[in-house]
Structure 1
Amino acid sequence: MGLIETFGIVFVLEAADAMQKTADVDVVGFENVASGYISVLVEGDVAACKSAVDAGVKAVEKMGASVYSSVVIPTPHPDLVKITRRYTIENLLP
């Protein structure tokens, strides 16, 4: 599981695009955290998530923005699905 949090939809879309183009990851979803900060979540194997997060961070920084935080969680506990399920694209669409 890999996550990036930055400020603004434009930057998070750029991050998500770079993440998917760089590695074999699936975008699980996103969340507007607070006051314009948005997190995007991807899943895949550990190496793919690391490559994807690195590429996403670089893409945001290349646009002159800052990444608030990023993380790769290798082998996340199965119970994390209770939290991440609400951020899936399917649950965010009307």
Structure 2
Amino acid sequence: MARYEALGLIETFGLVFALEAADAMCKAAEVELVGYENVASGYISVLVQGDVGACKAAVDAGVAAVNAMEDANLYSYVVIPRPHQDLQKIIKRYAIEGLLPEQK
């Protein structure tokens, strides 16, 4: 996998909020949805990658989308510009490739 300029993450409590964040992130900027992780007890992190500006715009849009929902449950968010190459070890765990059956 190529090294990207930035990573953007949003952590919510609950799948509905995570899906809303992921949808808003992907629609707001030219980012790639890497995947998600059910961190613990309902906390779900969504990870995107792309250039720094796109990740910032995507995370801002995701945060706004979750906060606009009733009973918003946003836990944390971050943009990491120029991530160290060793973070790929963690990112691989998030990858959703191969989880869904291929569409024909």
What TM-score, normalized to structure 2? 0.86
Report the Cα distance in structure 1 between the residues aligned to 2:20 and 2:93, rounded to whole angstroms: 22
The amino acid of 2:54's aligned partner reads A
Q: CA deviation at 1:66?
A: 2.6
Where does residue 86 of structure 1 map in the other structure? 93
Secondary structure of the corresponding residue to residue 90 of structure 1: coil
Structure with greater helix share of residues: 1
Runs of 4+ in 1 over 3 A off after TM superposition: none
2:31/2:54 contact within 8 Å kept = yes
Secondary structure of the corresponding residue to residue 81 of structure 2: coil
Where does residue 8 of structure 1 map in the other structure? 14
Offset from partner CA, 1:45-70 (integer Å, 9 cap, x none): 00000000000000001003131000
User: Which residue of 19, 37, 42 corresponds with 1:36?
Assistant: 42
1:3-82 paired onto structure 2 within 5 Å: 3-64=9-70, 65-82=72-89
Report the Cα distance in structure 2 between the residues aligned to 1:83 and 1:37, rounded to whole angstroms: 17
Percent identity between the two aligned chains: 71
Between the two proteins, the alignment pairs up a number of residues equal to 93
5+ long unaligned stretches in structure 2: 1-6
Offset from partner CA, 1:16-45 (integer Å, 9 cap, x none): 000011000000010000110100000000
Q: CA deviation at 1:81?
A: 0.3
**Which of these two proteins has the greater Rg computed from alpha carbons?**
2
5+ long unaligned stretches in structure 1: none
Where does residue 4 of structure 2 map in the other structure? none
